[in-house]
Structure 1
Amino acid sequence: MLQDLIVPLILVGLAELGDKTQLAILVLSTKTKKYLALLLGVMAAFSITTGLAIILGNFISTVVPMEYVSISAGLLFILFGLLMLVSKEDEETNVNPELNNPFLTGFGLILVAEMGDKTQIATAVFATQYDPYLVFIGVILALFIMTMIAIYIGQFIMDRIRTSIISKAAGILFILIGASFFI
């Protein structure tokens, strides 16, 4: 029973290290001071994608071709990257205008990016082998820990590097992550 929780927690946590969604969260956290709203949006998206993985298992991949999901996620990352590169900074608050609502931004980006992701597929597999409720708790706990780390690192970076440099680097990173969906 304990392994039903521990195995998904450890394996999903390790799989998320350096994953595109964690990089996206890190970048988003440099664009807002509303960290709680970002955390809640990201965790809402993770809860939905994890729940779908457990409930539907591989059903998603048979109904929606994964290439469409990948193309949508890639385009979304590229769009966010382009917006970051062309937006003007609000020097008074050091926050980009496109993150006026970090909850919705984090939610939308992570929801699309996680569909068909390796951790979602792993979650579906875990749910066939272990107690689905404990798998859900383990996966969400792993994603929560990794998200908190990414937000903290983003906040640390934002406090030490000029916002204009962060915006350019973030825009380029988002475009590269988006392009990786097409490879």
Structure 2
Amino acid sequence: MEALLVSTAVVALAEIGDKTQLLALVLAARFRKPFPILAGILAATLANHAAAGWVGVWLSDQLSPGMLGWILGLSFLAIAAWTLLPDRLEDGDQPGGRHGAFMSTLVAFFLVEIGDKTQVATVALALKYSQLAAVVAGTTFGMLLANAPAVWLGSAAARRIPLRAVRYAAGAVFAGLGIATLARVALA
């Protein structure tokens, strides 16, 4: 249960103000079809985070506990620093509309998530917990928690969310996880 809850909270916080949330806003404005957009986000996130989670679980079986702890702790600290950097959707990243709301969202979200901090966080969380289903369910739910309001409420809601404060809170959560992990390794 801890893996599910921590994964949900960490990704939901990290996702606020992320480029995928900006992408959700663009898709919502372009298509004005929230259900296919949310279904595309769900499908893309499940596929992307399942692959990332699998890598994390596989790595946890390959590394010694000490090495795993150092890599995990340093990864959480790197994600904390990355989280503090604001994201913006690049002009060339505008999603196309040829294939409809669902397919455009599915493809765009899957591609934009590759190498994103939430995908890296999914690998790190799967390394930490070695519970693939709980981590993937949590990170996917966290993505939906952060992106559903963007899809439903559009840019008006995004302007009211204090993105800087949310980025700092997410960074603090990742930093706390990193420091706690490194402290456990150092004391072992």
Give the TM-score taking structure 2 as reference length: 0.60
Give the deviation of 1:99 after TM superposition. 5.9
Give the deviation of 1:57 after TM superposition. 3.3
* CA-atom RMSD in angstroms: 2.5
Residue 106 of structure 1 aligns with an amino acid whose one-letter code is: T
Distance (whole Å) between structure 2 residues aligned to residue 58 and residue 22 of structure 1? 27
Distance (whole Å) between structure 2 residues aligned to residue 116 and residue 80 of structure 1? 15
> What is residue 50 of structure 1 aligned with on the other side?
49
> Percent of aligned pairs with the same residue?
30
- Equivalent positions of 1:32-51 (< 5 A) are 32-51=31-50
> What is residue 12 of structure 2 aligned with on the other side?
13
Residue 112 of structure 1 aligns with an amino acid whose one-letter code is: L
Q: Does 1:108 align with 2:104?
A: no
Residue 10 of structure 2 aligns with an amino acid whose one-letter code is: L
Which whole-Å deviations, capped at 9, do the CAs of 1:28-63 have from their partners, x for residues lacking one?
10111321111111211111110010112399xxxx
In structure 2, the CA distance between the partners of 1:152 and 1:99, relative to structure 1 (3 Å rule), is: farther
> What is residue 133 of structure 1 aligned with on the other side?
133
Which whole-Å deviations, capped at 9, do the CAs of 1:140-160 have from their partners, x for residues lacking one?
111111121110122868xxx
> What is residue 25 of structure 2 aligned with on the other side?
26
Q: Which runs of 5+ in 1 are unaligned?
A: 60-75, 84-96, 158-183
In structure 2, the CA distance between the partners of 1:155 and 1:79, relative to structure 1 (3 Å rule), is: closer
Give the deviation of 1:123 after TM superposition. 0.6
Q: How many equivalent residue pairs?
A: 126
Runs of 4+ aligned residues of structure 1 deviating over 2 Å after TM superposition are 56-59, 76-81, 97-100
Which whole-Å deviations, capped at 9, do the CAs of 1:59-83 have from their partners, x for residues lacking one?
9xxxxxxxxxxxxxxxx954454x8
Which whole-Å deviations, capped at 9, do the CAs of 1:119-148 have from their partners, x for residues lacking one?
111111111111221111111111111121
Q: Which runs of 5+ in 2 are unaligned?
A: 59-88, 158-188
Aligned partner of residue 98 in structure 1, secondary structure: coil
Distance (whole Å) between structure 1 residues aligned to residue 135 and residue 97 of structure 2? 35
Aligned partner of residue 144 in structure 1, secondary structure: helix
- Equivalent positions of 1:57-136 (< 5 A) are 57=56, 78-81=91-94, 98=97, 101-130=100-129, 131-136=131-136
Do the aligned partners of 1:42 and 1:106 also contact (CA within 8 Å) in 2? yes
> What is residue 144 of structure 2 aligned with on the other side?
144
Pick the structure with more helix per residue.
2
Distance (whole Å) between structure 1 residues aligned to residue 108 and residue 99 of structure 2? 15
